[in-house]
Amino acid sequence: MFLVLKLSVYDEDWYVEAPANAAIKAMARSFPAVLRVFYMRLNSVIPEETAHAAAAILDVAKEEPELLDANLLRKDLKRLKRVGHKEASSHITAALSRVKGVARKATYRYGL
């Protein structure tokens, strides 16, 4: 997992980061906590990094919106707008529209 996280960064070559991001998103169904990596990257001061993370979150929202926390997205959106990260804000706004009204999935099936 550590290697995948290291390769999924925004400034890696696309042919390296795209499969790494896909692996993280694929794991999200079984291990929703892996999405924290994208949430943490939304806190970056680098607009490209926040946009990269927000795009990954939007991808998840398109396929499995029940895995995302609308309240957390709203909080992140507010902060992104405040610091002027327009591309990331746009992605999170779109993700929120897909998450709205969708019941959240229980995060762990086995009591962990």
pTM above 0.75, yes or no: yes
Find out whether 72 and 39 touch, Cβ atoms under 8 Å: yes
What is the per-residue pLDDT for 30?
A: 83
Q: Is 104 domain-assigned? A: no
d(CA 74, CA 70): 6
Q: Is 73 domain-assigned? A: yes
What is the per-residue pLDDT for 107?
A: 59
How many CB atoms within 10 Å of residue 99?
23
Give the total number of structural domains in the chain. 1
Q: Is 80 domain-assigned? A: yes
Angle at which helix 70-83 crosses helix 47-63, to 10 degrees, equals: 150
Q: Is 37 domain-assigned? A: yes
d(CA 42, CA 40): 5
The domain in which residue 32 lies consists of 2-99
**At which residue do the structure tokens 């939304």 appear?**
42
> Would you write out the chain's pLDDT as a tens digit for each of its 112 residues?
777 877 888 888 888 989 898 899 888 888 888 899 999 999 999 999 999 999 999 999 999 999 999 999 999 999 999 999 999 999 999 999 999 988 887 655 554 4
Write the CA distances from 71 to 27, 29, 81, 101, 109, integer angstroms: 22, 19, 16, 12, 22
